[in-house]
Amino acid sequence: MTTPSLSTAKKVGDFLRWKREQLSPEQAGLVAGSRRRTPGLRREEVAQLSYVSTTWYTWLEQGRGISVSARTLGGIATALQLAKAEREYLFNLAELTDPHGQLPMANAPNIVGVVESVKAPCYVMDIAWRLVAWNRAAEDLFSGWLSVDPAPNMLEFIFTHPLARQLVVDWPGRAQRIVAELRAESIHLDSHAPLKATVDALQEKSEEFATWWANYHVVLREGGKREFNHPQQGRCQFQQTTWQLSPESGTKMIILIAQEEIDDAPAE
């Protein structure tokens, strides 16, 4: 979350207003109606499509210098159907990093193909813990989150999504270890804006995260036993394996192999 200067805020507001006026209701999937003074969208319509309040969006367009998060700005960019260059321009104006910024290796067809070919739950996570690729098994395991969240982030899921505390067995223990793993990677904080933005936001949103983050406990990311209380599948046990996707520092592929498959595997 950042509060832009008034000059920056005015530039952002002017650009958003210009794009809003260029987008017709029909293009946005809305019914135009007969009582419109201008051909573009109304502010309240952009707010509705972006899941923000009309008052807040109006202030944003007016350049009042209100705080805006990268994720919220991304939702507005999507609602206004910005082209790639326009979206990049908007984030540059706002001095923010696009949360949908693509990592070439993580999204390369060969990586996506590998993820989709794995039978066990498998997903790829970037340095900011954003999930950039996952398979159907992972979507089933994290049912109610992965298939719903347009920009899934594992850190945000663990600490802000109510499903996490129900799904993850021994949530406090796992959550504390995740913070310690993140702390071990925190050397990247100053050079990677999305990771820093995620950490800063979680310190405000989650009291547990803020407390554990302040402890400076550090552990290396390791595989091992992972347990879930799945609402349909019941108690599930997995062995987690993590691979670093070189040369992209911080990008990892995680596979969760069912414990019973390991137990049933023939001994060598």
Same domain, 81 and 133: no
The pLDDT-based confidence of 266 (bands split at 50, 70, 90) is low
Same domain, 70 and 110: no
**CA pair distance 166, 144, nearest whole angstrom:** 12
Give the model's pLDDT for residue 159. 97
Higher pLDDT, 164 or 36: 164
Q: Of 94, 126, 155, which one is at a domain's C-terminal end?
A: 94
Q: Of 36, 63, 94, which one is at a domain's C-terminal end?
A: 94
Same domain, 195 and 108: yes
Same domain, 50 and 114: no
Q: Whole domain around residue 67: which residue ranges?
A: 6-94
Task: Give a yes or no: residue 19 inside a domain.
Answer: yes
Same domain, 78 and 139: no
Same domain, 156 and 245: yes
What are the angstrom distances between the C-alpha of 3 and each of 31, 91, 161, 215? 34, 13, 25, 28
Strand partners, 68: 2
Same domain, 46 and 155: no
CA 73 to chain centre: 13
Residue 6, pLDDT > 70, answer no
For CA atoms 47, 53, 58, 61, the dihedral sign is: negative
Strand partners, 241: 255
Same domain, 67 and 114: no
**CA pair distance 8, 16, nearest whole angstrom:** 12
Same domain, 228 and 119: yes
Please give the model's pTM, rounded to 2 decimal places: 0.59
Task: Give a yes or no: residue 1 inside a domain.
Answer: no
Strand partners, 134: 123
The pLDDT-based confidence of 58 (bands split at 50, 70, 90) is very high
Mean pLDDT lowest among 24-38, 48-62, 129-143, 225-239: 24-38
Tokens of 146: 């992965």
Give the model's pLDDT for residue 104. 46
Tens-place pLDDT, residues 127-178: 889 998 999 999 999 999 998 998 899 999 999 999 999 999 999 999 999 9
Q: What's the DSSP call for residue 121? A: -
CATH number of the domain bearing residue 90: 1.10.260.40
Tens-place pLDDT, residues 67-122: 888 889 988 998 999 888 888 889 888 888 776 654 445 555 577 888 989 999 99
Residue 2, pLDDT > 80, answer no
Give the model's pLDDT for residue 95. 84
> Taking residues 7-32, what's their average pLDDT?
88
Domain count, the chain: 2
Cβ within 8 Å of residue 69, ≥6 positions away: 1, 2, 96, 197, 201
Q: Can you state the angle between helices 70-79 and 84-94, rounded to 10 degrees?
A: 150
> Taking residues 35-48, what's their average pLDDT?
84
Question: Whose CA is closest to 106, among 244, 255, 199, 221?
Answer: 244
Same domain, 23 and 139: no
Give the model's pLDDT for residue 190. 61
Task: Give a yes or no: residue 234 inside a domain.
Answer: yes
Tens-place pLDDT, residues 176-209: 999 998 888 776 566 577 788 889 999 999 999 9
Q: Is 165 helix (H, G, I), strand (E, B) or coil?
A: helix
Same domain, 122 and 143: yes
**CA pair distance 182, 154, nearest whole angstrom:** 11
Tens-place pLDDT, residues 228-264: 999 999 999 999 998 877 555 578 899 999 987 656 5
Same domain, 89 and 139: no
Task: Give a yes or no: residue 117 inside a domain.
Answer: yes
**CA pair distance 128, 151, nearest whole angstrom:** 12
Q: Of 75, 94, 113, which one is at a domain's C-terminal end?
A: 94
Task: Give a yes or no: residue 99 inside a domain.
Answer: no
CATH number of the domain bearing residue 240: 3.30.450.180
Question: Whose CA is closest to 72, among 99, 39, 40?
Answer: 99
**CA pair distance 6, 60, nearest whole angstrom:** 11
Q: What is the DSSP string of 15-52?
A: HHHHHHHHS-TTTTT----S--SSSS--HHHHHHHHTS
Cβ within 8 Å of residue 16, ≥6 positions away: 46, 60, 61, 76, 80, 90
